[in-house]
Chains A and B, each alone.
Chain A
Amino acid sequence: MDKMEKILSDVREKFNFDTVALTDVECSRCHSIKWKYNIGSTNDRWRKIELRSGKGLPGIVMKTGKSLVVDAIERIEMDGGVFQYPMIKIERLESFIAMPLWNDTEEVIGIVLLGNRQSRHFLQKEYEEIKEYVERHLRQQILKELIANEGS
């Protein structure tokens, strides 16, 4: 288990998520976005997914630059149906937080998806805690890796 996987697993356990996924941060300005990690997945379908920029959950989060918090999928009207968001469909998520991660020059470098297979009510305080934890651990690790790779 590499360091990133460890952090993602920690987030998953600490905040009781079923799955925690992260996009491939090496390619934040590419034409398409892939998921690089998905801790707690039940199958390997997510590895095949490669959405063109602007599509799916990463698309929305990147465009708005804001977190998307959904308590219960059935209660919201999603543009084009859940079908437009393959990760939700494949992992059978019922609730999730999709959060953008920024670098220091105000670019979104990655999206982290924190999902549950039951509906779940997120309190503001809880969300802030998760966000703070993710930024302190996950974001720092991503930046560290990006810098390390740039050097090599």
Chain B
Amino acid sequence: MKEANLIGLLEAMFHQSKEMILFVNGDGEIVYMNAHASRTLDDTDYDKSQFQHICSHCQGMYVGEGRIECNNCYLHMEEKVTFQVYMRTRDGSVEPFIANFQRIDPEEGISVFTLNPLSEQLKTQEMEHQKRLTQRIIQAQEDERKRISRDLHDGVTQELLNVLLEMRLFKYIEDHDALTEKMQKSEESLSRLLDYVRNISVELRPASLDDLGLEAALKTHFKWVERQYGMTVECHLDMHNKRFNPEVETVVYRIIQEAIFNAAKYADVETVEVDLHEIEDISGHSLNFEIRDGGLGFDLNSHPLGTGLGLFGMNERVSSVNGNVTIDSAPGNGTTVSGSIPL
């Protein structure tokens, strides 16, 4: 085939294709885009005389589990094929697309970026995923209820019954010393029971979180973790018992709790470090947290060992207060969960 012919055909393809084709340079500026791309993508915000930047269209990549992230951007890669990105479109919405990104001119750093609308099939897949997630959440809720119910039944009811039986026998005891001894035993049982019930309620939601604030609640929780899992939490909190919005306090508490649980479950370490700082400077006012373990770590792209609901829950919680959370881990390199919440 003649070369001239090929160039003609390529040009025709570029202009007429129903696929969006964009040429992007190393800085992410759009060098060319075809007619279909400029028809589809939202360009209302731009000064036409300037270069358009791909990042003002792109809203992030789909990373699985219903999450969209802007980490490991394809712009810094030689090649990334068949991945899902979200772009802003002309009608004002954010739509998912199947994308391919490939460097075609290494000298100039030019890459070709093609986008196809997400097929119905994939949309259904996403819906299926959402459904599965809902099922898992319901399942987790049921499991939690089962646990609480068992705790109440096995612990509280049993012990109460014991004490009741012991007390019934009191009236048949003639000897005063024997009676005193039995009563002391019952007293011990009741005091143990009181402790047990208190523990159940603290595990459900620590009262100290509402009454004494985040710092006190966290410190109590860290002590509990040490006794429960033999894992020490080294904490660096410098908030001077300051109180925050209750929603923010709950979110931070639960995220730190979840991250520590994960470390106890999977990291196989003796200590975990927790940092929590209030930052106030020109860029804003926020509460920053970081939970680090030097443990086993995991491959971020692999299938989760547990239900995967924990990490999902962290994301959900933090986005409910407009914060962000990132998880950084690699096999053998430990795991770091960090993020911030604007105040």
Cβ-neighbour of A54 out of B196, B231, B270 (below 8 A): B196
Q: Tell whether A49 is near chain B: CB-to-CB under 8 Å.
A: yes
Cβ-neighbour of A52 out of B188, B199, B264 (below 8 A): B199
Cβ-neighbour of A50 out of B158, B199, B227, B270 (below 8 A): B227
B324 → chain A, closest Cβ, in Å?
A: 28
Chain A residues, Cβ within 8 Å of B83: none
Q: Tell whether A6 is near chain B: CB-to-CB under 8 Å.
A: no
Docked CA distance A45–B227 (Å): 10
Contact, CB under 8 Å: A54 / B155: yes
Q: Mark B178-196, 1 if CB is under 8 A from A, else 0.
A: 0000000000100110011
Contact, CB under 8 Å: B231 / A31: no
Contact, CB under 8 Å: A47 / B230: yes
Contact, CB under 8 Å: B265 / A83: yes
A56 → chain B, closest Cβ, in Å?
A: 9
Interface size class on chain A is 20 to 34
Chain B residues, Cβ within 8 Å of A48: 226-227, 230-232
Contact, CB under 8 Å: A49 / B228: yes
Cβ-neighbour of A63 out of B147, B154, B229, B231 (below 8 A): B154
Q: Tell whether A29 is near chain B: CB-to-CB under 8 Å.
A: yes
| 8 A Cβ contacts from A29-58 to B | 29, 31-32, 43-54
Q: Tell whether A65 is near chain B: CB-to-CB under 8 Å.
A: no
User: Given A31-B195, A63-B154 in contact, is the A49-B229 Cβ separation under 8 Å?
Assistant: yes
Chain B, residue nearest A79 (CB)? B150
Contact, CB under 8 Å: A54 / B227: no
Cβ-neighbour of A53 out of B147, B192, B229 (below 8 A): B192
Residue contacts A-B, CB under 8 angstroms, 9 given? A31-B195, A45-B229, A48-B227, A49-B228, A52-B199, A53-B192, A53-B196, A54-B155, A79-B150
Q: Residues on A close to B: CB < 8 A?
A: 29, 31-32, 43-54, 63, 79-80, 83, 86, 89-90
Beyond A48-B230, A53-B196, 9 additional pairs, beta carbon < 8 A: A45-B231, A48-B227, A50-B227, A51-B228, A52-B195, A80-B147, A86-B229, A89-B229, A90-B230
